[in-house]
Structure formats: C-alpha cells, structure tokens
Amino acid sequence: MGSRRLPLVAATANPNKLAEIEAILGDAVELLPRPDHVPDVVEDAPDLLGNARLKAQAIMAATGHAALADDTGLEVDRLDGAPGVHSARYAGPQADASANVAKLLGALADVAQPERTARFRTVALVAWPDGTETYAEGVVEGHIIAAPEGTGGFGYDPVFVPVDGGGATFAAMSDADKNAISHRGRAFRNLLGLLGPRLG
C-alpha cells in the first residue's frame, strides 16, 4: 500500500473550519487551499447536503480537481429545527458568530433547560471530476445552555453541550476532545471510511 495522500481542494475559506478538518482527516488526505479567484458560492439549497454539493461542485469546476466541502446546521427542537440550514446567517447575511448566538439565546430565553435539546448535523461531500460524489453525515445530540462558556471553538460552540461531553460546551473542550465526538469529526471520519479505495 502506497503512502500518497489523496489531494482534495478545500471549499471552505474559514481558517477555523479548515484547521479542524485537517486535524480530523490526518495524513490520509492532502487538503489544498481554495483558490483566491473563486468567488463565494451562494448557499441557497434547502438542506445541508444541497449546500455541500453546491460548494464542492463549484470548486471542482473552477479547479478541475476533486473538491471537499461540508455544511453544518444547528437544529434546536423548540425552534422547530431552526436555525438549521440557515445557521451561519441566522442573525442576518452579515452577522458574525456572536450575533447568531445572541439571537439564539434570545429565542430560547423563556425555554426551560430540559426543553433546550438540540443537535449539530454536518454533511461532508467530495465532488469528483468524473461527475460522481461521495458524502457522509455526522450528528451529535446535546442542549443549549443559557450563557456562553469557554473560549475555544467557533460558531455556536460556546452554548452547545454535547450529551457525551461530560457537561462541557464544545468551546470549553480541547480541540482533540471536541473532534473526537463532534458532528464534524463524525462526518469526516465516516467520509474517510467511504474513501478507503481511493486512499493510498
């Protein structure tokens, strides 16, 4: 078995997400940076799979190489699954993570802790130049706390406590501990399993 790493062009330009994906995938994949000339992809699909597909196909078309994309949503039960596919833009098109978290906490202000159940869901997808695709999903159950805790992570990590995380938010965990149980970690490890025949 050879040691050549599978080259994939990353669709994300988010440095936090890129570092997390690289840590999860390890040495099996060589993540190539998204070219600067490729514009942002309009993520207007109705679900996470559709958005991941849009991003991966756009990067693959622009570079001619296999491209890797993912899309993640936070699904809060008392909000009927919102923010879901709109998680990154929950508080508006130009909103940052703190604005999104503030809107979420405001929406849940009168909801008792036992009813603040939620889950993170990630779809990771590779678009291949031959027109085929490979994708996998990762899900982690948890709940939303009343105020941010922890200084690590990004996005909604400071207010999400996974059920199997010992009571800590993702933002209060080390990167390694988070990646071991996170939605993104599970999605990309599942994807690696599907990529087996193409690796090495």
Q: What is the CATH number of the domain that holds 14?
A: 3.90.950.10
In this structure, is residue 22 part of a structural domain?
yes
Number of domains in the chain: 1
CA dist., res. 43 & res. 86, Å (int): 9
In this structure, is residue 61 part of a structural domain?
yes
Three-state SS at 26: helix
- DSSP, residue by residue, 131-155: S-EEEEEEEEEEEE-SS---SSS-T
In this structure, is residue 136 part of a structural domain?
yes
Q: Which member of 44, 71, 77, 110 is catalytic? A: 71
Three-state SS at 82: coil
Least confident interval from 6-15, 59-68, 112-121, 168-177? 6-15
The pTM assigned to this predicted structure is 0.92
Is-catalytic flag, 77? no
121-166 pLDDT, tens digit each: 999 999 999 999 999 999 999 999 999 999 998 999 999 999 998 9
**pLDDT-derived band of residue 75, with 50, 70 and 90 as boundaries?**
very high
One-letter amino acid for residue 20 of the chain: E
What range defines the domain where residue 166 resides? 6-198
For 68, the enclosing helix (H) or strand (E) is strand 67-76
CA dist., res. 188 & res. 12, Å (int): 14
Q: ∠ CA 86-90-93 to the nearest 5 degrees?
A: 95
In this structure, is residue 1 part of a structural domain?
no
